């Protein structure tokens, strides 16, 4: 059971902190330094437990003591003990930081989800692809019928040169020549050069 002396000792820091807060409210820097020295381990400990980051806890502690410096004159000992008031300030700021970081993570996740994998303009890409297809079709029309047929079978149906030759009932070297000559004409057409048959 605590003795009267123990109760008096435990009460002294509370009264001392009230006195220090009164002095801080009057702009006493030495009182602020003493108040910080006596209370900062508790503020930092609470912030660290909530934030789980030493760097974030240091930032929050700094913000709390800045708030103490600027609002000490409004402290009311009838509403809370100095430590209770200080812990309430630290708790609020730490929880606000956690909420802000969580909201930021949600926003980033939503943005990534809605924009994920779209690092290009789908509409422009589709239009460009369609224009390329039309240009290729136009150039295919400029080929001889035998060249066009051999290239179409080889590149649009996925047949090998041997399968194209078998399908057309022509020798393999003939198919290779038709495809080679047809590809040269396509290349010339697509590059804007004129090529004769």
pLDDT at site 148: 87
Domain boundary among 59, 80, 115: 115
Dihedral over Cα of 50, 54, 59, 65: its sign: positive
Which of 115, 140, 159 is the last residue before a domain boundary? Answer: 115
Percent of residues, the chain, with pLDDT higher than 90 = 49
CB 63 within 8 A of CB 110: no
| Residue 108: predicted pLDDT | 78
Question: Across residues 126-135, what is the average pLDDT?
Answer: 77
C-alpha to C-alpha distance for 188 and 197, rounded to whole angstroms:
11
70 and 110 inside one domain: yes
Q: Is residue 196 part of a domain?
A: no
Supply the CATH number for residue 31's domain. 1.10.1740.10
Terminus-to-terminus CA distance in the chain, angstroms?
Answer: 112
Res. 4: pLDDT tops 60: no
**43 & 89 share domain:** yes
- Decide if 3 is inside a domain: no
| CATH code assigned at 140 | 1.10.10.10
Number of domains in the chain: 2
User: Same domain for 131 and 186?
Assistant: yes
Task: Supply the pLDDT for residue 64.
Answer: 97
| 48-73 per-position pLDDT tens digit | 999 999 999 999 999 999 999 999 99
Asked if residue 109 and residue 23 are part of one domain, the reply reads yes
Report d(CA 44, CA 93) in Å as an integer. 12
The parent domain of residue 146 ranges over 122-190
Cα dihedral 69/73/75/78 (nearest 10): 160
Do 143 and 182 contact (CB within 8 A), yes or no? yes
State which of 85, 115, 145 marks the end of a domain: 115
Distance, CA of 84 to CA of 47 (rounded, Å): 14
Residues 72 and 21 in one domain: yes
Residue 177: count other Cβ atoms within 10 Å of its Cβ. 15
Please report which confidence band the pLDDT of residue 196 belongs to, taking 50, 70 and 90 as the band edges: very low
pLDDT of 130 reads 78
**Cα–Cα distance, 148 to 139 (Å, whole number):** 10
Note whether 49 and 98 are same-domain residues. Answer: yes
Q: What is the pLDDT of residue 141?
A: 82
* 2 within some domain: no
Residue 195 lies in a domain: no
């Amino acid at each position: 059971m605590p003795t009267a002396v123990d109760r008096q000792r435990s009460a002294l820091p509370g009264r001392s902190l009230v006195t220090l807060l009164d002095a801080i409210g009057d702009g006493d820097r030495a009182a602020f330094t003493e108040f910080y020295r006596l209370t900062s381990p508790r503020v930092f400990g609470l912030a660290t437990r909530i934030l789980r980051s030493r760097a974030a806890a240091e930032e929050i502690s700094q913000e709390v003591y800045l708030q103490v410096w600027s609002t000490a004159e409004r402290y009311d000992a009838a509403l809370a003990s100095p430590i209770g008031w200080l812990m309430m300030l630290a708790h609020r700021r730490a929880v606000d930081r956690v909420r802000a970081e969580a909201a930021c993570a949600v926003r980033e996740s939503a943005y990534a989800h809605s924009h994920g994998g779209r690092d290009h303009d789908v509409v422009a890409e589709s239009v460009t692809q369609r224009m390329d297809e039309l240009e290729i079709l136009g150039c295919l029309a400029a080929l001889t019928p035998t060249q066009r047929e051999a290239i179409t079978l080889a590149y649009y149906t996925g047949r090998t040169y041997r399968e194209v030759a078998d399908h057309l009932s022509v020798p393999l070297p003939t198919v290779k020549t038709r495809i080679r000559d047809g590809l040269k004409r396509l290349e010339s057409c697509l590059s804007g050069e004129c090529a004769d048959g």
